[in-house]
Amino acid sequence: MWADFCAAFEAYDIDAVVELMAAQATWEMPPFDRFYAGPEAIGILVRNQCPARAAGDLVMVPCIVNGRPGAGMYLRDDDGLAAFQLVALEIEGRWVRRVVGFFDTDVLKRSLPARPE
């Protein structure tokens, strides 16, 4: 499941990301007070707000975030890969029930490299 989530993002396969979400899944991005509920809303969020636009634009580095599976998200830029977001996943069986994305890249850089090799 964890690997599938990362692979779907790296492939920019938003349909696959949506298929991994539980019916009541939520996606939060503190400090923003808005959250997205349900696979359809999450798909719209990723399609419209994620700066990645094609396979290879985003690299996911699996890690543990607050004791949960997660990943460092890196976006391709002119210099290679730049830290973008740290996500923590709540997984139940074969479904992602909750994603919490942290845009504070300092947190990501303390846990993972600023630019993965």
pLDDT at 27 over 70: yes
pLDDT at residue 11, as a whole number? 97
- We report the CATH number of the domain holding residue 107 as 3.10.450.50
Task: Establish if 117 belongs to a structural domain.
Answer: no
Sign of the alpha-carbon torsion through 104, 110, 115, 116: negative
What is the domain count for the chain? 1
**Confidence (pTM):** 0.89
Q: Is 35 helix (H, G, I), strand (E, B) or coil?
A: strand
Mean pLDDT on 48-63: 93
Domain that holds residue 44: 2-111
